[in-house]
């Protein structure tokens, strides 16, 4: 039995080919395996299983927390005390907190912030448009997304660069770059201090922002101090890191495919469809779960303590689900992607993310309709749980 288990040498954090062309790697593996054991496993020797096909991932989400707990978000990190609140919780705590938070992420709430998103996008573009070039990730994607979501969270927009740096270190440093985890720990510590400081200020003087609402939610749901801090942390990281990754992949695609940016920007309907294509075709999340009960899942003998990764980024390219899955098609008929995950942990920020992507597509192309990549070889990216680009140089006239 053991030797029939498909094993593939793939480290999602560091594999060079994967960092260069993640979807090319997924396409090759997914054709052969809907699920495989990645080598190496965790530093402590547990197996890391990776699900690539849409249906296998749906089956995994359906098994739920009885087998696959959310207790750890990263494929290769040593287990730690729950650091990231909401996302690392299981029942009975998770549904209680999630229900209380959901109204603050509803489509209605997001719509009240949409005009401000447009304003912020224009302000950020104005800072570099006359230069005729920019490094898209750090000049646009990160500051734009940071300003939109941190404003809602109530984080003052000073030292954004430093905050973006902390978010990167906490989520993306690999075990090779940070063998003892001290840099990740320090970054988490900085964000925790920042967020708890803001929470103290809001306790004394409430504002109309998410940190103020979270204080009431924490009291109503009797959240521990650690889980309150962890939930503020995951909101900070979720708000800062994820959408910037999606927007960067979208910008690279549009820079390389002028016809697609024209198709995407015809009207609000095409913008919305293009946004779903970005989410499907350039999915960024490889959601990790902790196996908490031995189980034979799709023929793989999983042991308690193993990790299992649901690659929503691979699922979006599944040829069994989508015609011409590798093609970006604004006129795609059916697009039931699972880029935001499924089940109780489905992305709570999905409506925010969609709106941020839509506003990016609209505003960027209004001001900079024609652009190209300066040095394709300089593009580099990060993998792991949340994929994204680190550098993308663009030029326009």
Residue nearest ligand HEM, Cβ-based: 349
Give residue for tokens 């979006």: 316
Structure tokens at 55: 């249906």
Based on CB atoms, which residue is closest to ligand HEM, 344 or 395?
344
d(CA 246, CA 106): 21
Size of the site for ligand HEM (CB under 6 A): 26
User: CA 134 to CA 214: how far, in whole Å?
Assistant: 36
Q: Of 18, 76, 213, 352, which one interacts with ligand HEM (CB under 6 A)?
A: 352
For residue 134 the two structure tokens come to 């920019």
**Of the candidate residues 120, 150, 198, 353, the single one contacting ligand HEM (CB under 6 A):** 353
Q: Residue 165 interacts with ligand HEM (CB under 6 A)?
A: no
For 149, half-sphere exposure in the C-beta direction (CA atoms, 13 angstrom radius) is 30
Alpha helices in 155-257 (DSSP H): 160-172, 182-204, 210-220, 225-237, 243-256
**Interface with ligand HEM includes 285 (CB under 6 A)?**
yes
| Residue 190 C-beta: closest distance to ligand HEM, Å | 19
271: contact with ligand HEM by CB under 6 A: no
In angstroms, give the least distance from the CB of 148 to ligand HEM.
9
Q: C-beta of 348: minimal distance to ligand HEM in Å?
A: 4
Of the candidates 22, 34, 60, 238, which one interacts with ligand HEM according to CB under 6 A?
A: 238
The residue (of 187 and 244) whose beta carbon lies closer to ligand HEM is: 244
Candidate residues 284, 325, 368, 389; the one interacting with ligand HEM per rule CB under 6 A: 284
Q: Which stretch binds ligand HEM (CB under 6 A): 113-121, 129-137, 264-272, 337-345?
A: 337-345
φ/ψ of residue 291, rounded to 5 = -75, 125
339 binds ligand HEM per the rule CB under 6 A: yes
Length of the chain in residues, anyone? 397
Interface with ligand HEM by CB under 6 A: which range of 182-190, 222-230, 297-305, 336-344?
A: 336-344
Question: Which residue, 228 or 340, has its beta carbon nearer to ligand HEM?
Answer: 340
For 200-231, letters b (16+ CB in 10 Å) and e give eebeeeeeebbbbbbbebbeebebeeebbbbb
For the purposes of burial, counting CB atoms within 10 Å of the CB of 237, is it exposed (0-12), middle (13-18) or buried (19 or more)? buried
Q: Report the chain's terminal Cα–Cα distance, integer Å.
A: 61
x/- site string to ligand HEM, residues 290 to 329, per CB under 6 A? ----------------------x-----------------
Binding flag, residue 98, ligand HEM (CB under 6 A): yes
> Which residues lie below 8 Å from residue 64, measured CB to CB, with a gap of 6+?
343, 344
Task: Report the C-alpha gap between 3 and 160 in whole angstroms.
Answer: 50
234 forms part of the interface with ligand HEM (CB under 6 A): yes
Q: Rounded distance, CA 270 to CA 331, Å?
A: 8
Distance CA 244, CA 143 (A): 9
| Paired residues of 311 in beta bridges | 286
Please give the structure tokens belonging to residue 230.
Answer: 């962890």
Assess 265 for contact with ligand HEM (CB under 6 A): no
Site string for ligand HEM, 58-87 (x = CB under 6 A): ------------x---------------xx
Q: Residues 325, 348, 368, 387: which binds ligand HEM (CB under 6 A)? A: 348
**Interface stretch with ligand HEM, choices 113-121, 155-163, 214-222, 238-246 (CB under 6 A):** 238-246
DSSP SS3 for 210: helix
For residue 35, give the 3-state DSSP assignment: strand
Q: Least distance from C-beta 104 to ligand HEM, angstroms?
A: 10
How near is the Cβ of 284 to ligand HEM at its closest, in Å? 5
Closer Cβ to ligand HEM, 45 or 140, answer by number? 140
Longest dimension (CA), the chain: 63
> In the numeric block, which tokens belong to residue 3?
């030797």
- Residue 146 interacts with ligand HEM (CB under 6 A): yes or no: no
Positions that interact with ligand HEM (CB under 6 A):
70, 86-87, 98, 149, 234-235, 238-239, 242-243, 246, 284-285, 287, 312, 339-341, 345-349, 352-353
């Amino acid at each position: 039995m053991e030797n029939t288990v498909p094993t593939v040498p793939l480290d999602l954090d560091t594999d060079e080919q994967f960092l260069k062309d993640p979807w090319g790697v997924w396409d090759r593996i997914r054709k052969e395996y809907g699920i495989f054991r990645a080598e190496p496993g965790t530093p402590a020797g547990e197996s890391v299983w990776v699900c690539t096909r849409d249906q296998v991932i749906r089956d995994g989400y359906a098994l739920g927390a009885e087998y696959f707990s959310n207790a750890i978000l990263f494929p290769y990190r040593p287990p730690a005390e729950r650091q990231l609140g909401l996302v690392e919780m299981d029942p009975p705590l998770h549904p209680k907190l999630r229900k209380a938070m959901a109204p603050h992420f509803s489509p209605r709430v997001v719509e009240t912030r949409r005009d401000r998103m447009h304003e912020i996008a224009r302000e950020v573009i104005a800072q570099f448009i006359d230069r005729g070039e920019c490094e898209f990730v750090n000049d646009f994607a990160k500051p734009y997304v940071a300003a939109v979501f941190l404003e809602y969270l109530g984080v003052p927009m000073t030292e954004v660069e430093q905050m973006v740096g902390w978010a990167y270190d906490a989520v993306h440093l690999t075990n090779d770059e940070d063998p003892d985890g001290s840099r990740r720990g320090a970054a988490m510590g900085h964000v925790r201090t920042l967020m708890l400081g803001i929470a103290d200020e809001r306790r004394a003087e409430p504002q109309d922002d998410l940190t103020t609402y979270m204080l009431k939610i924490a009291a109503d749901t009797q959240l521990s101090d650690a889980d309150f801090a962890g939930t503020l942390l995951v909101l900070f990281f979720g708000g800062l890191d994820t959408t910037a990754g999606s927007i960067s992949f979208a910008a690279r695609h549009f820079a390389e495919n002028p016809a697609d940016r024209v198709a995407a920007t015809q009207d609000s309907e095409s913008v919305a469809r293009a946004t779903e294509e970005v989410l499907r075709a350039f999915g960024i999340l490889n959601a990790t779960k902790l196996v908490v009960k031995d189980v034979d899942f799709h023929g793989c003998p999983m042991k308690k303590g193993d990790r299992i990764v649901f690659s929503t980024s691979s699922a979006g390219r599944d040829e069994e689900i989508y015609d011409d899955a590798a093609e970006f098609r604004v006129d795609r008929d059916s697009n039931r992607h699972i880029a935001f995950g499924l089940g109780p942990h489905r992305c709570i920020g999905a409506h925010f993310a969609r709106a941020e992507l839509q506003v990016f597509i609209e505003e960027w192309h209004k001001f900079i309709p024609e652009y190209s990549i300066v040095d394709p070889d300089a593009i580099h990216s990060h993998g792991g749980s949340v994929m994204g680009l680190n550098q993308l140089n663009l030029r326009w006239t």
